[in-house]
Amino acid sequence: MNKDTYVNGQKVYILEDGKLIYFFKSGKIKAVGLYENDLMEGEWLFYRETGQLWEIGHFQHSIKDGQWIRYNRDGEIEYNETFKNGIKVRNKK
């Protein structure tokens, strides 16, 4: 996490009670999830700038671990992948 604010003054992220929230330049939420010991942990939600859910994924020590589901702009599943220690082990649509 290098940059604290965008040129317009909007915060890039905030860390509050173990939850890290990233923002788009517009101020809308970009991603949110647990952040412990300087590492992404557990379930993270990623959004498009429109506010629409884009992806749900799981981390263990900032490495993809578990199910990752990405949605297209129609809200349908674009892909459903499973990772173990950062390596894709299963892909379902």
Q: Which sequence spans correspond to the domains of the chain?
A: 23-71
Res. 80: pLDDT tops 90: yes
Q: Report the mean per-residue pLDDT for the chain.
A: 94
Structure tokens at 10: 């909007």
- pLDDT band at 93; cut points 50, 70, 90: low
Q: What's the residue count for the chain?
A: 93
Residue 51 has a pLDDT of 97
Q: From 85, 42, 51, select the one nearest 71 (Cα to Cα).
A: 51
Name the percent of the chain lying above pLDDT 70: 94
Query: Tens digits of per-residue pLDDT, 51-74?
Result: 999 999 999 999 999 999 999 999
